[in-house]
A and B are shown apart, each in its own frame.
Chain A
Amino acid sequence: MYLMNKRLHHKIAQFTDASAIKAKGLYPYFRAIESGQDTEVIIGGKRVLMFGSNSYLGLTDHPKIKEAAKKAIDKYGTGCAGSRFLNGTLDIHVELESRLASYVGKQAAILFSTGFQVNLGVLSCITGRNDYLILDEQDHASIIDGCRLSFSRVIKYAHNDMRDLKRRLSMLPEEAVKLIVVDGIFSMEGDIVKLPEMVAIADQYGANIMIDDAHSLGVIGHHGSGTASHFNLTDQVDLITGTFSKSLASLGGFAAGDAETIDYLKHKARSLMFSASMPPSAVASVLAALDVIESEPERIEKLWKNTRYAVQLMLAEGFDLGITESPILPIYIRDHDKTFLATKYLLDMGVFVNPVVSPAVPPEASLLRFSLMATHSFTQIEEAVEKIAIVFKKTGVVSAKEKNTMQGIGHYNS
Chain B
Amino acid sequence: MIYPQHLCYTTGHQWVSLEAQYAFMGITDFGQRELGHIVAVDIPYLNKTLERNKFLGSIEAVHAVLDLFMPFSGVITEINPDMLKYPGLINRDPYDMWIIKILVPLIDNENLLLTADEYHALVSQ
Contacts and interface: CB of A to CB of B under 8 A. Distances in A.
Contacts of A303: 20
A196 B48 contact: yes
B20 A304 contact: yes
Interface in A89-106: none
Nearest to B22: A230
Contacts of A230: 21, 77, 103
Given A315-B107, A324-B107, A325-B105, A232 B20 contact: no
Contact of B107 (A194, A200, A304, A311): A311
Interface in A298-317: 300-301, 303-304, 307-308, 311, 315
A153 to B, nearest CB: 30
A195 to B, nearest CB: 9
Given A196-B49, A220-B21, A301-B20, A231 B75 contact: yes
A382 B25 CA distance: 31
A243 interface: no
Interface residues of A, number: 23
B67 to A, nearest CB: 23
Contacts of B19: 301
A325 B73 CA distance: 13
Interface of A is mostly: helix
A4 to B, nearest CB: 59
Interface string B62-101: 0000000000000101100000000000000000000001
B77 A231 contact: yes
Nearest to A305: B20
A303 B20 CA distance: 8
A293 B105 CA distance: 23
B5 interface: no
A231 B74 CA distance: 11
Contact of B47 (A196, A307, A311): A196
A321 interface: yes
Given A196-B47, A232-B77, A321 B20 contact: no
B106 A326 contact: yes
A303 B106 CA distance: 13
Nearest to B101: A232
A197 B107 CA distance: 21
Contacts of A347: none
10 A-B pairs with the lowest CB-CB distances in the bound complex, closest first: A196-B47, A304-B20, A232-B77, A325-B106, A232-B78, A301-B20, A231-B77, A304-B21, A300-B20, A196-B75
Interface of B: 19-21, 47-49, 75, 77-78, 101, 103, 105-107, 109
Given A231-B77, A233-B47, A325-B107, 15 more contacts: A194-B49, A196-B48, A196-B49, A196-B77, A197-B49, A199-B47, A230-B21, A232-B47, A232-B77, A232-B78, A303-B20, A307-B106, A311-B107, A315-B107, A321-B107
